[in-house]
Structure 1
Amino acid sequence: MKKLLIATLIAAATFGAQASIETKDWHDKATTEAKQFAQENIVLDFFASPAEFGWTSERMLGNYIDLAHSRGVTGSSITIGTPSESTWDLYMTALNKYEKGIDVATTPIIRVRNVEDFQRAHDEGAYAVMWNNQSTMMLEGDASRVKTLHQQGIRSMQLVYNGKELTGSGVIAMLNGQDSGITQFGKEVIDEMVEHGITVDFSHNSSLLINSTLDYMDQKHPNVPVIVSHSPLASTYGCENNETLKQTAERMEKLGLKEGDEDHRLAACYRLVSDEDAQRIAERGGVVSVTFTEWMMDGQWKSDITPKDAAMMVDGAVKVLGVDHVGIATDDMQTVEQVVAFASKYKDSYADNGYMLNAFDKGATGCAELAKHIAALTDELRKMGYSDSDLEKIYGKNLMRVYAQTWK
């Protein structure tokens, strides 16, 4: 059924060029075999475009989905809740916007409630939408609301975004010396997530929060795997990711580097995850999904991330974790212009001493839209020796295994 819809959807998706406009399109450079592989297998993405900023019209979101589906992307984990949805009412408003927005797509939509829905979407020529929250602020201190989130379709959730929340501290809080482990409320939220079947996601969480949460889960929920839904490994770029701003400044001074020097850093590459934390996640059966957004590539910021760059991110994670514990997740914001506006409005969530904006200034303006990369990425990974079985795991099966273990 999926192939029968492709011709129709390609015509409908031509308007998709207006989405993620900064991303170079590599699709036509890929081999026919790679394009076919994407069509024939389950490919899961992750994108995080707030309704107010990432996409500015329902048609823009619909076009994005149509283009993705026409090129073999089966579906995505889509973020609804961030600190900008800081109350239950604001979260509900965002959810309603997204519920309306996805239905504008020409592609049929399947709202994911169980793992089998991904295969069903693939078989029926539909696009699978899985809701994600990158914050718990919308709970407003009420852990019992986790059950309602599950009923609404939330299937993965972070304890915190970048800053400090009632559950613990994120990476921006860590940068600014305000780090803390999991709180009592955070433990209550974890218990509710495990009970109702929402996968624990450690993206944007500080190392202290990750490890204190895993310590708690080792005691209370020892057989429950977790994920990092969107982050490369710091070791891929040889960068420090757990330093405070003060520690980074001290390291720059010790190295004799000043602002303007090629190797000077304003902050640690805080969005990347350390090998040690990633390995602990893998040891309990979890998955780290590598994101291809250009400003994640510490010190190698460029105007167009290539499929080879993306393949190197994947390969770097596989070398550390093994092929059974790596996924892909572009973390696409659709348009960087709107990312800058979002970061400017919610400055407390991006107090990184100008690190991200500096990356934009250096040319990191693309979001690595998966529709424009997946086929060419397949060619690059095959050149590196990855088998079709390996690619099937990385593109979707690894995450589906974790979901099957954590959803109820």
Structure 2
Amino acid sequence: MCTKPLLLVFFACPYGAGWTEDKHLHDYLDRSRACGITGHSMTLAAAGHTWENFVWEHQKWKSTMAQTPDKYIFVRSVRDIEAAHIRGNTTAVVWNSQTSTILNGDLKKVATLKEMGVGSMILAYNDLFRAGSGSLAEFNGNNTGVTSWGLSVVDEMVKHGIIVDLSHMGPKTTHGIMDYMDEKYPGVPYVFTHSLPAGLYKNEAKATKRGCYRNISDEEALRVVKSGGYVSPTFTEWMMDGIWPDDITPQQCADMIDYYVKLLGVDHVGIASDDMFTTKPTMDFVAKNAAMYSDDGYMVNAFNKGATGCGELAKILPAITDELWKRGYTNEEIAKIYASNKIRVYREVWEGFSPEEDPVDKAERDKFVKEQREKFMER
């Protein structure tokens, strides 16, 4: 039986942007298994992808993985993740979509997504879409917020047990979805699968006259606690306001984790990565689609200032763990951050599991959120 800790991460690395050759995927996942990562939530679609794009991408990933079929378990329940962990040298695969445009306007497709193993979905990635306004759209003044269509998508996601992922959406859209969830589906967790804390870089953001539009505020993060969800920082150099290292350090990764633990409590923090094997495809795409990245040159400037690394979690995770130990984190706390907090949310949303005794009492959780919000408003 495997005695390594169970580790679950978010792997936002779609084909064509993150990996461009079959070997890239095989080599990376071999490294991730070697360093003890049990499973990944893997992005299949983003931005304005259609249903046809999504199905093609799904087939590409599956056919590539079929070259070494014994190394993958496609997750339909938490038991599948546990099975991958027990077997060892096996990757648990959870699918994610960073857009709801893949529905092609058909809500019935949400049930199909569930059957295909999609565990979480973002409604509006970065720009303006039918479901609502993404982070860049709102940065540029289009504060449409979540639409009635977007809320209909939320209804279907909750109905079929797909986690509502708030990453990369604008604050108005995010708060609108949170308001709706809190009122109509109290106790159903929502999450940020890969979002950096704006508060960690507030001084650098002031120096550069602005912050990264994809990073989230303390207020947004704190609302997740009330729902029972989690927030996972992603170790992405170009979103680190005013720092923009060529390669992120384990210490900088631990800074992000530590910031969220102090803000939210250790029961509501995860870990993620936006790993890419080369940034060239991304930057080529940005150059060809400038209108989709009208951010006053923020992204390109970040890359030009040094953020050209890829921060592969499979390379630096052991050093991050060492750094967390140095900072006094216990094995139990690290286990929560690396997997247990996600497993709890997976059980609740995917399987409708409601533990007899909430590990974080609702009244205590509400009190904690209130105290933390007041504390961080004073800073």
TM-score in same-fold range (> 0.5): yes
Residue of structure 2 equivalent to 1:122: 85
Q: How far apart are residue 296 of structure 1 and its match?
A: 1.7
Stretch moving more, 227-236 or 334-343: 334-343
- Amino acid of the structure 1 residue aligned with 2:30: D
Q: Residues 243-302 of structure 1: CA distance to partner in whole angstroms, max 9, x if unpaired?
A: xxxxxxxxx8xxxxxxxxxx334x531111100010011111110001111112110111
Q: Could you say which residue in structure 1 is the equivalent of 2:356?
A: none
CA distance in 2, matches of 1:231, 1:105: 32
Tell me which residue corresponds to 1:391: 334
Which residue number in structure 1 is paired with residue 34 of structure 2? 70
1:105 positional shift: 4.7
Counterpart-to-counterpart distance in 2, 1:396 and 1:222? 24
Matching residue of 1:363: 306
Structure 2 unaligned spans of 5+: 352-379
TM-score (norm 1): 0.82
- 1:270 aligned residue: 213
Aligned counterparts, 1:155-194, within 5 A: 155-194=119-158
Match of 2:52 in 1: 89
In 1, distance between residues paired with 2:291 and 2:343? 34
CA RMSD of aligned residues (A): 1.7
Query: 1:107/1:376 Cα in 2 relative to 1: closer, same or farther (>3 Å)?
Result: farther
Does structure 2 conserve the Cα–Cα contact (< 8 Å) formed by 1:47 and 1:333? no
Q: Distance in 2 between matches of 1:353 and 1:105?
A: 44
Q: For the structure 1 residues 335 and 235, does the alpha-carbon distance in structure 2 shift closer, same or farther, using more than 3 Å as the test?
A: same
Q: CA deviation at 1:50?
A: 2.1
Question: 1:41 aligns to what SS in structure 2?
Answer: coil
Residue identity opposite 1:222 in structure 2: P
Q: Distance in 2 between matches of 1:188 and 1:205?
A: 17
- How far residue 138 of structure 1 moved from its aligned partner, in angstroms, is 1.2
Counterparts of 1:28-43 in structure 2, within 5 Å, are 40-43=4-7
Alignment: residue pair count: 350
1:200 aligns with 2:143: no
Equivalent residue, structure 1, for 2:63: 100
Instruction: Note closer, same or farther for the CA distance 1:238–1:49 as it changes in structure 2 (3 Å cut).
Output: same
Gaps of 5+ in 1: 3-38, 242-251, 253-262
Percent of aligned pairs sharing the same letter: 45
Q: Closer, same or farther in 2 for the Cα pair 1:74/1:204, shift >3 Å?
A: same
Moved more, 273-282 or 137-146: 137-146
SS of the equivalent of 1:53 reads coil
Distance in 2, Cα, partners of 1:173 & 1:359 = 19
Which amino acid in structure 1 is aligned with residue 63 of structure 2? K
Structure 1 residue 342 displacement after superposition: 3.0
Query: Match for residue 293 of structure 2?
Result: 350
| Higher RCO structure (Cα 8 Å, ≥6 apart) | 1
Q: In structure 2, what is the equivalent of residue 228 of structure 1?
A: 192
Matched, 1:289 2:252: no
C-alpha distance 404-347 of structure 1, shift in aligned 2 (>3 A): farther
Q: 2:279, 2:165 → 1: CA distance?
A: 24
1:402 aligns with 345
- Where has structure 1 moved over 4 Å in runs of 4 or more? none
Q: Is residue 2:3 matched to residue 1:60?
A: no
Distance 1:107 1:235 in 2: 43
How far apart are 1:228 and its partner, in Å? 0.1
Aligned residue for 1:248?
none
Shift of 1:178: 0.6
Q: Which residue of 2 is the match for residue 332 of structure 1?
A: 275
CA–CA distance in 1 between the matches of 2:155 and 2:146?
Answer: 12
Partner of 1:146: 110
Query: What's the secondary structure of 2:231's corresponding residue?
Result: strand
